[in-house]
Amino acid sequence: MNDTIIYTSLTLDIFCLYLYNTHNMRKNKFNRRPQRQKKRDFGPKDTGLTVYVREGNVDGALKKFKRKVKNAGIMEDLKKREFFQTRREGRRLSLQKTIRRQKRINESLKGLGFTKRGRI
């Protein structure tokens, strides 16, 4: 008889521990099953290079459009295609661009003790 009481009290303790853990799991937001977020309606989506004016905010839409055009590289492409450029001209211009960039880097490192062959 004494053994059965110990057994039932042990099962009761385990059951209480189970209830305690499940209650804590319900309270803990990190152990929950992930739920779908509610969709918020912000109006039509800006896809590609289209920008919608929301709430009469033309300045914001213009700013967003300029950023999209800049990131897409449309203006650079237009300037590059304005005149025909041979391969030789392209190589010559890229070499000049590299030389200018290197001169600018050398000028900025001049006072720091750097030379052409490395650090002094």
What are the DSSP calls for 64-96, one per residue?
A: HHHHHHHHHTHHHHHHHHSS---HHHHHHHHHH
In a domain, 35, yes or no: no
In a domain, 39, yes or no: no
Q: Alpha carbon of 17 to those of 21, 27, 119: distances in Å?
A: 6, 15, 69
In a domain, 36, yes or no: no
In a domain, 64, yes or no: yes
Is residue 9 over pLDDT 60? no
Which residues on neighbouring strands pair with residue 87, listed in sequence order? Answer: none
CA distance 120 to 112: 10
- The pLDDT score that the predictor gives to residue 7 is 46
pLDDT digits (tens, 9 = 90+) for 23-47: 555 555 666 677 777 777 667 777 7
Does one domain contain both 91 and 113?
Answer: yes
Does one domain contain both 76 and 103?
Answer: no
Does one domain contain both 79 and 92?
Answer: no
In a domain, 41, yes or no: no
What is the number of structural domains in the chain?
3
pTM: 0.44
The type of residue at 91 is: R
Which residues on neighbouring strands pair with residue 118, listed in sequence order? Answer: 115
In a domain, 43, yes or no: no
Which residues on neighbouring strands pair with residue 119, listed in sequence order? Answer: 114
Expressed as residue numbers, the domain containing 16 is 1-29
The answer to whether 65 and 49 have CB atoms below 8 angstroms apart is yes
